[in-house]
Structure 1
Amino acid sequence: MAVYIRLDDAVRALLRGGGGGVSVSSGSEHDASECLSGLVQAFLETGDVAGEEGTGPASKGGEGYESEDGDGPGRAAAAAESVRELLDPPAEEDPFRIRLAAAVVVATEAEAALRRYGAEFRRAVTRRLRAAGYDAGVCKSRWEASGGITAGTYEYIDVVAPAAREKKSRYIVDAEFRAGLEVARATAEYAVVLAAVPASVVVAREESVGRALRVAADAARRSLRSHGLHVPPWRKSRYMLAKWLGPYKRSTATSPAGTGTVPMPGAAGLDVKCRAVGFFPPPATTPAARIK
């Protein structure tokens, strides 16, 4: 039996490649096809545009959680439990994540003074994670306006775990994750869902992030509509999936904060592919140019 999948404009633009204007990955472990594969997989798991309007399937990790209008304590509790299990699973289910989360806490506390500076904070935390032995990088996603969502960019940290078998696991590390889910005039029910998201920093597998976003976006939609408000483009699930799961540029080259310097070729941590596509300004190639 043939199975047909309807893709929206955003995914079709990604499938066309450069014509969609979306930046491709420049990470040494994640090329454009891998990023696109992940985004399409997340899209299929979370439903299409109809799903955002309340008629699509619920994602894995939110079984029994329907997308109907209206809200209630029981529904909110189920949604919150799904989000909690996805973003903060038991230690025995993922020992690597527990060790990584502990290292992230140490790094973020050490760099707390830089937190309000955003980019500098992320690079400082990444430096500390790399010094602790983790394959950490700063990722910048970018997407164009398409299918009812607005264009945008976003930056976060990721950590690639050593491959246990065939595929390496990728973890999203973001101190601003909860802030990205806040909505205006949130209902008490949505506040319960939001409270299930770690307050300080999220450390979770990328597939778990995608599923948690779907559950949270669904709850946010109901919260907004209960007040007669429209769901803004930046609170739709496809927009949020693009922020954390869309094509991105990854760099492991993090200059010391405030120096304004760019690592030279061959320097530790330099991601050549990332620099080659414009993530960093091209370094001087001659001694004279460097002196200037």
Structure 2
Amino acid sequence: MGSLGEEDLEKLVIDYIESPIISDDVEEQPSRVLITLQDVLGTKEEKEKQIEDKLKSIIRRNKLSYKRDDEKKDVMKKIVSKLRSDGYDAFISRTSWDSSFDRLEGCRVFRCTRKYEYIDVMVESDGDGDDGSKFRRVIVDLDFKSQFELLKHTKDYKDVTEMLPRIFVATEMRLKKVVSLVCNEMKKSMKEEGMSRPPWRTKRYMQAKWLSENRIRVSGSNKGSWSMFDDGQGGEDVGTTSRGGTGMKTKCCFPIF
């Protein structure tokens, strides 16, 4: 093979310098889960948008914030008071459920009663629901994102949770979809990190926080006026308004001590 001439060598050098540099780092594309979650979070009904806009306005105008649970309860009461003064049927709901052995999730735990509080706003139904209810719920959680935090997690799970809003306003159906997506990723993350998954991190448990069939109205009333300093005792049982309940009452499969 003959040697390269000066012109050929110069051409090779120029071609090398001007050629595009191909990096080994390929830009990451968003995962299918992230795309689906983004779609569910962004697809809001008009009534959800109205309540969310009203909520943001109340928080901004009244400079509401909290750090502790007791402060959060006080903020919820103030928000409910403002919503009710603007004509919304809003109240604080408390869900409760039994935590025990769950065959579907394969978890084993001593039975105990769990409780969680958030804001419910009843709105008129579009009339196309399966149960034919005249009203349905829009759930307002002031600390939604923190419910899914893990001390150890994969990058994929971190990307999912960073997409979650701190204040979440959603119908039962939309909330159920979000919780299901995030909990599936949580399960994968804990498995990859070599962590055993406790019962309170299962999908059925997490959904029960908002969708348990055992739900009572602890602040706010349809009858007469309501004080924002209601102590929340003697709540009214409001049951469930859709077929999205999780039916969390399970029997324990081993002795309770």
What's the TM-score once normalised by structure 2's chain length? 0.65
State yes or no: 1:112 paired with 2:64.
yes
| Aligned equivalent of 1:243 | 209
Whole-Å separation in 2 of the counterparts to 1:98 and 1:196: 18
Letter in 2 for 1:198: P
Q: 1:198 aligns with which of 162, 165, 175?
A: 165
Residues 158 and 115 (structure 1), Cα distance of their counterparts in 2 relative to 1, 3 Å cut: farther
Residues 266 and 104 (structure 1), Cα distance of their counterparts in 2 relative to 1, 3 Å cut: closer
Letter in 1 for 2:143: E
| Aligned equivalent of 1:160 | 122
Q: 2:180 aligns with which of 214, 218, 222?
A: 214
> How many Å apart are 1:114 and its aligned residue?
4.3
Contact 1:82 / 1:212 at 8 angstroms: preserved in 2? no
Structure 2, unaligned stretches of length 5 or more? 1-27, 102-107, 237-257
Size of the aligned set, in residue pairs, is 188
Residue pairs, 1:42-81, within 5 angstroms: 77-81=31-35
| Aligned equivalent of 2:54 | 103
Identity %: 23
Contact 1:87 / 1:202 at 8 angstroms: preserved in 2? no
**Runs of 4+ deviating beyond 6 Å:** none
Q: 1:279 aligns with which of 235, 242, 248?
A: 235
| Aligned equivalent of 1:185 | 152
Q: Per-residue CA shift, 1:209-250, capped at 9, x if unaligned? A: 111111100101111111100112211101111111002111
Contact 1:140 / 1:248 at 8 angstroms: preserved in 2? yes
Q: Per-residue CA shift, 1:35-70, capped at 9, x if unaligned? A: xxxxxxxxxxxxxxxxxxxxxxxxxxxxxxxxxxxx
Whole-Å separation in 2 of the counterparts to 1:266 and 1:97: 25
| Aligned equivalent of 2:86 | 132
Which structure has more RCO (C-alpha within 8 Å, separation ≥ 6)? 1
Residues 139 and 177 (structure 1), Cα distance of their counterparts in 2 relative to 1, 3 Å cut: same
> How many Å apart are 1:253 and its aligned residue?
2.4
Whole-Å separation in 2 of the counterparts to 1:174 and 1:81: 23
Q: Kindly name which structure, 1 or 2, has the bigger radius of gyration based on alpha carbons.
A: 2
Whole-Å separation in 2 of the counterparts to 1:164 and 1:269: 28
| Aligned equivalent of 2:197 | 231
Contact 1:173 / 1:202 at 8 angstroms: preserved in 2? yes
Residues 88 and 226 (structure 1), Cα distance of their counterparts in 2 relative to 1, 3 Å cut: same
